[in-house]
Amino acid sequence: MDDRTAKALSVRQAAFIGVGAMVGAGIFSLLGAAGEVAGAAVWLSFLLAGGVAVLQGYSFAKFGARYPSAGGFLEYVLRGFGNGHLLGVVAWLLLAANCIITAMVAVSFGSYASGALTDGSTAWTKVFAVVLIAAMTALNVLGAQAVARTQTLIVYVVIGILVLFAVVTLVNIDPGLLSFSGYPPFRHIVSSVALTFFAFLGFGVITFTAKDLAHPAKQLPRAITIALGIATVIYVAVALGVFGTLTVDEVISSGGTALAEAAKPVLGNAGYWLMTVTALFSTAGATNAGLYPAAGVCEEMVATGQFPPVLGRRLGGRASSGLLVTAVASIVLAVGFDLSAIASIGSAIALLVFTLITAAHFRVRGETGASLPVLVLAIASTLVVLLAFAVTTLVSEPATLVAIVVILLLSVVLDVGWKRRRDSRTEVGT
């Protein structure tokens, strides 16, 4: 066994990094919002969102098997569109979205920890969020194996508790609450996919494990498939259990505690604490997985000339400056901003990036052996979700639209500004 094989991640470890990134705060915060649109058919919304994610996963797996890289799906943009401004803008967008989502998940952890251990004040929420980001950053500095081992433990705990929740609620559901006759029009269910798809965004993190896999061409597609399969089954089962136990109005009014409320009829107060523990573990795992790609992204983008060299340095030979910058930015966002007002930004940016990646794949499909009909279906399904997102969210949340435009413009400014400075230095050097 060579040194690379000895230190490599297994398929299970890579898949669990993705599961941990997906099964985070989303399942706790999405049910009420999705219920307002899809009613008791939220389970169907999750199933449709899982289908969209599987189509994108097929594209990512084929691309990653052909071009495994520490840059993850940014490598796919490079292969499809070249090493130009589009790649740079997408890379800055990815970094921004990653900071926002990581901060949001850390604040969610902070709110659960504050409610369980203190008086639930906002100050304590921020403190716990900062402590979590710092701890997960230190874990990432230790390396991929440390991340993978921790993530495996977290995912086992989260899956175990959610499976228990699903079993006890599904056994005791009221079928009448899930009756098809009470479902809203199908177009409303499709509209809600723009919300439930957010819960699947984390699968893209798996593409960044390629550098840590012994045989990425074979292992990456399997890891993506396993992760999406686990997440889809969990989401559908949990949604059925919640909406088969509580009325739609009860789910909406319960907000983030809907799972705890659904567990109470069988588990009593123990259900509340069980879901609190699950929330703490899942949000910690999502923060851990969210920080994981930062080092690889920055180092690969420095190597291609898209990022300033400072982001590719290793402090003390271990700590990636790209990881540290991401952590600091996430802490600033967690402490200084009301992230609830822009909670949809990460979803919108990711949907845009996913569409661009599959479009890039379309251009080089001859090199990957991907199916043309599947790629077309993947692009079409993502565009439908983007359109639904624009109609259902951006129209009613102008702050989200403004924030997305600002992030897009900032990404363009950073890309153009850095490359002008880079090129001017090159001219001076010659």
- Please state the φ and ψ torsions of residue 213, each to the nearest 5 degrees: -100, 140
SS3 218: helix
Radius of gyration of the chain (CA): 21
Q: Averaged over 71-100, what is the pLDDT? A: 85
Question: How far apart (Å, rounded) are the C-alpha atoms in residues 214 and 7?
Answer: 8
- Write b or e for each residue in 169-207: b if 16 or more Cβ atoms lie within 10 A of its Cβ, otherwise e: beeebeeebbeeeeeeeeebbbbbbbbbbbbbbbbbbbb
pLDDT per position as a tens digit, 137-166: 988 888 767 777 777 787 788 888 888 888
Which of 56-65, 96-105, 248-257, 364-373 has the weakest average pLDDT? Answer: 248-257
Question: How far apart (Å, rounded) are the C-alpha atoms in residues 254 and 273?
Answer: 15
The residue ranking higher by pLDDT, 261 or 356, is: 356
Of 325, 327, 374, 382, the closest CA to residue 353 belongs to 382
pLDDT per position as a tens digit, 344-375: 676 777 788 888 888 888 888 888 888 999 99
Of 224, 199, 197, the closest CA to residue 209 belongs to 224
Question: How far apart (Å, rounded) are the C-alpha atoms in residues 27 and 36?
Answer: 15
Cα angle 286-290-295, degrees, rounded to a multiple of 5:
150
SS3 223: helix
Please report the DSSP string for 254-276 in residue order: HGGGHHHHHHHHHHTHHHHHHHH
Predicted local distance difference test score (pLDDT) of residue 208:
78
Predicted local distance difference test score (pLDDT) of residue 8:
76
Is residue 216 over pLDDT 80?
Answer: yes
pLDDT interval class at 2 (50, 70, 90): very low
Q: Provide the token pair at 111.
A: 């709110």
Predicted local distance difference test score (pLDDT) of residue 144:
67
Q: Are 72 and 220 in contact (CB under 8 A)?
A: no
Is residue 298 over pLDDT 50?
Answer: yes
Predicted local distance difference test score (pLDDT) of residue 394:
67
Q: Averaged over 17-44, what is the pLDDT? A: 80
Tokens 């850390």 map to which residue?
106
Q: Are 24 and 286 in contact (CB under 8 A)?
A: yes
Every domain of the chain and the residues it spans: 7-104+142-282+332-416
Of 157, 110, 144, 172, the closest CA to residue 334 belongs to 110
The pTM (predicted TM-score) of the whole model is 0.80
Q: Are 105 and 290 in contact (CB under 8 A)?
A: yes
Is residue 390 over pLDDT 80?
Answer: no
pLDDT interval class at 217 (50, 70, 90): confident
pLDDT interval class at 429 (50, 70, 90): low
Dmax (CA) of the chain = 76
Predicted local distance difference test score (pLDDT) of residue 26:
66
Residue count (the chain): 430
Give the percent of the chain with pLDDT over 90: 19
Question: How far apart (Å, rounded) are the C-alpha atoms in residues 210 and 293?
Answer: 11
Specify the CATH architecture of the domain 7-104+142-282+332-416: Up-down Bundle (1.20)
SS3 353: helix
pLDDT per position as a tens digit, 224-247: 999 999 999 999 998 999 899 888
Q: Provide the token pair at 344.
A: 């949809």
Question: How far apart (Å, rounded) are the C-alpha atoms in residues 206 and 223?
Answer: 7
Side chain identity at 264, as an amino acid letter? K
Of 275, 244, 35, 252, the closest CA to residue 165 belongs to 275
